[in-house]
Amino acid sequence: GNCIDLGCPAIFVSHRETVTAKSGKAKELVFARIDANACTGCHMCVETCAPEAIVQPQPTTRTIRIQPHG
């Protein structure tokens, strides 16, 4: 699944990066964040995102990173 496509107002794209896959093809990685203040706790992102993709925030920030996979 793709948690960015959920339509959740708490999830936003922070940046995009193009890398070369092992096959030699270009692949776009999308880095997203979850605004903890806007999060309602529905857990849809947890159910949709890849295992270990959601990283808890540092104590100094209220955004949660979603790491790309693949």
pLDDT in tens, 10-42: 988 888 999 998 899 998 888 888 888 898 888
pLDDT of residue 30: 83
pLDDT of residue 58: 65
CB burial of 41-64 (b: ≥16 within 10 Å; e: otherwise) equals: eeeebeebbeeebbeeeeeeeebb
pTM exceeding the 0.75 threshold for the entire prediction: no
How do the domains of the chain map onto residue ranges? 3-66
pLDDT value at 51 more than 80:
no
Please state the rounded mean pLDDT for residues 30-56. 84
Please state the rounded mean pLDDT for residues 35-54. 85
